[in-house]
Copies of this chain bind each other. A is one copy, B any other.
Amino acid sequence: MAFPVFLYHMKRTEIATLGEFGLIDHLTKDIKTKQETTVKGVGDDAAIVDNAGKRTLITTDLLLEGIHFDLIYTPLKHLGYKAAVVNFSDIYAMNGKPQQITISLGIAKRMSVEDLEEFYSGVKTACEIYGVDIIGGDTTSSLTGFTISITCIGTADDDKIVYRYGAKDTDLIFVSGDLGASYMGLQLLEREKSVFASNPDKGFQPDFGGREYILERQLKPEARKDIVELLAENGIVPTSMIDISDGLSSDLLHICKQSNVGCQLFEERIPIDYQTAAMAETFNMNVTTAALNGGEDYELLFTVPLTLHEKMKDITGIHLVGHITKPENGCYMITRDGVEIELKAQGWNPIAEK
């Protein structure tokens, strides 16, 4: 054994050259599942395990301080709530029901028992509201930041599971709620943080009046349990579905790539809340860009056959934003001016160089 055994590998390919999805593809491309019970491995919102016909869904998220959250403006209770909810969202995106979670924490030295109680109370509140059990985890100290890893287990009937790969030519594309709000909330928090940082001693308190919606979308998002239930009540099983965590553009491209189809998205149909639009104007940012690339909306993006067009009107809280096309037509957004712009996966990239 040479010593030290690890400092830098001889050949060095920078991770940024591959990007998050490229890296995952690269590391997982040769993985072959062998267990009979493994129905679906890497590559969708959740993995699927068979249990006597009933399916178990598993999803997991790792949240690191400084990358995914900033404790200067994130109440720990909200952070706990969000950490749980984003995992529930992945299970709903498979048309499943979240049932259990495990929580692993790396605890930063500056944190007290009360801080962890705050965090846990947020997790527990989320679990209470969504009907999910906390069943385990791991707790350790962290030499650096606060580290959160949550795994969620859900169930679904085999014939009701919705993958990313089922979209077909002429399918309609729907999105729930509105988009871009979480991103604009983050921009607002970041601005106030920098104002605070330059005047820490002057008792500075930011003015968040009238901005509650976009702040809540960023700090305490919800998963769209209601939409999944509405679809079920109306007997609708989407042909494909994903939750919008990276941004509409990036997540719609996931569906198109895995379904081997193209798409047409209409800019004027992308649902935007007025607070989102107002904040974008204040910041002199393009609100469509925020909706396309902002991410962290945790809305559901899904496709249904064209024949269901009339029936979809019974589902409240969703918006028709476009349709699926043949793969050779590519993936485009039609702007308000009628210009076709190719969609790019410019979503929030946690692998990007900081």
Contact = CB atoms under 8 A, between A and B. Distances in A.
A59 B136 contact: yes
A6 B73 CA distance: 7
A38 B143 contact: no
Copies of this protein in the assembly total: 2
Contacts of A62: 104-106, 138, 140, 147, 149
Measured as residues with beta carbon below 8 angstroms from the partner, the interface class of chain A is: 35 or more
B51 A56 contact: yes
Contacts of A10: 114
A155 B52 CA distance: 12
Contacts of A73: 3-5
A77 to B, nearest CB: 10
B147 A31 contact: no
B208 A13 contact: no
Interface in A111-140: 111-118, 120, 124, 131-140
Contact of A23 (B116, B147, B153, B205): B116
A116 B27 contact: yes
Nearest to A62: B104
Contact of A100 (B58, B102, B139): B58
A217 B133 CA distance: 36
A311 interface: no
A352 to B, nearest CB: 7
Contact of A352 (B2, B26, B31, B141): B141
A316 interface: no
A37 interface: yes
Nearest to A113: B13
A132 B35 contact: yes
In order of increasing CB-CB distance, the 3 nearest A-B pairs are A51-B51, A144-B144, A149-B149
Given A18-B113, A65-B143, 17 more contacts: A13-B113, A15-B107, A15-B113, A33-B133, A35-B133, A41-B135, A42-B134, A49-B153, A51-B155, A59-B136, A61-B138, A62-B104, A62-B106, A64-B144, A143-B144, A143-B354, A149-B149
Interface of A: 1-15, 17-18, 20, 23-24, 26-28, 30-31, 33-35, 37-38, 40-42, 46-47, 49, 51-54, 56, 58-62, 64-68, 71-76, 99-100, 102, 104-107, 110-118, 120, 124, 131-145, 147, 149, 151, 153, 155, 192-193, 196, 204-206, 208, 215, 350-352, 354
